[in-house]
Structure 1
Amino acid sequence: MTAEIPALLAMAFRTVMDQVHESLAAEGFDDVRPAHGFVFQYLSQRAAGATAVELGGHLGVTKQAAVQLVDELEQRGYVERGPHPTDRRSRMVVLAPRGWACVASVVRRWGEVEARWGDLIGADRVEHLRADLRRIVADSGQAVALRPVW
């Protein structure tokens, strides 16, 4: 028996994301890098946004690196900064309309990938795969977030 499933999962993710980024570039999102996706995903689940410190913690980078990433995304029109509701020294980062459009495109592309997998291996097997992966993630006993593995 070989222990190749973790590697295959990583390669499958890489294959999907390479295809997604190729499609994003064709749609005019050619300045999006994989690290940006982790920011978009995190912010898309937080209606009030997040601070650079929170983003840095999620990404596993320093506050300075997170601020630099937010600066870059703000210059490209993907995020906006606004006032923090309780801390005048902090700023909240939220997705801008361009960021939301990018997120919607990624979700659409992921749906296309799953449909293609259904054609390849059968829709029932894709549903079983989804259920099995959910069980594996749940078995960790921890809240697992989609975050980069640097």
Structure 2
Amino acid sequence: MQNSEAMALSTALLAAAGELTKRIHAGVVARGFEGLRPAHGFAFARLAPDGATATDLAAHLGVTKQAAGQLVDEMVRKGYVERRPHPVDARARLVVLTERGWACTRAAEEAAAEAVRPWAELLGEEGTGRLRAQLTRLAPHGPLRPVW
């Protein structure tokens, strides 16, 4: 693959990811969950289903422990998460989604379905399945994190 072709592919993938993030975020806000940034959604993805420590969240988001702690503090103030005693490590606190956090996560799932619906209409069911399979092969486990 020529450099120009690789750059064109990279640009197209980044544009699609950016547009998808923007549309999901707009859908979440439209469903009444204000005061959030896309970074919150990436945090929610790590916290669901079993919670995580702030250290786990920092590694997932690619930020410092202090930045993750500040994000957790903000999400606690807004009622999206709560800190609980860690079931195994007495020194750690587990950050888990509250009912409001789960409701926001469900709103994001609905917004994601709306956001990719035009892709499915354009590519068809078979094409959409192939796209999902190929993207999963390229990035089987992420990372699923914001671009800072």
TM-score, with normalisation over the residues of structure 1? 0.86
For residues 30-85 of structure 1, give each alpha carbon's deviation from its aligned partner in whole angstroms, at most 9, with x where no partner exists.
Answer: 2110111111000114x2x2111111122121211111100000000110111112
CA positional deviation for 1:120: 2.3
Amino-acid identity (%): 47
Worse overlay, 91-100 or 115-124: 115-124
Is 1:14 equivalent to 2:12 in the alignment?
A: no
4+ residue runs over 3 A deviation: none
Aligned residues of 1:114 and 1:126 also touching (Cα < 8 A): no
CA distance in 2, matches of 1:75, 1:102: 15
Query: What is the one-letter code of the residue matched to 2:54?
Result: A
- Structure 2: which 5+ residue stretches go unaligned? none
Compared CA separation, residues 115 and 90, structure 1 to 2 (3 A): same
CA positional deviation for 1:5: 1.3
Count how many residue pairs are aligned between Structure 1 and Structure 2: 144
RMSD: 1.7
CA distance in 2, matches of 1:59, 1:16: 18
Is 1:136 equivalent to 2:127 in the alignment?
A: no
Structure of greater relative contact order (alpha carbons < 8 Å, 6+ residues apart): 2
Give the 3-state SS of the residue equivalent to 1:122 in structure 2.
helix
- Structure 1: which 5+ residue stretches go unaligned? none
Worse overlay, 3-12 or 63-72: 3-12
TM-score, with normalisation over the residues of structure 2? 0.87
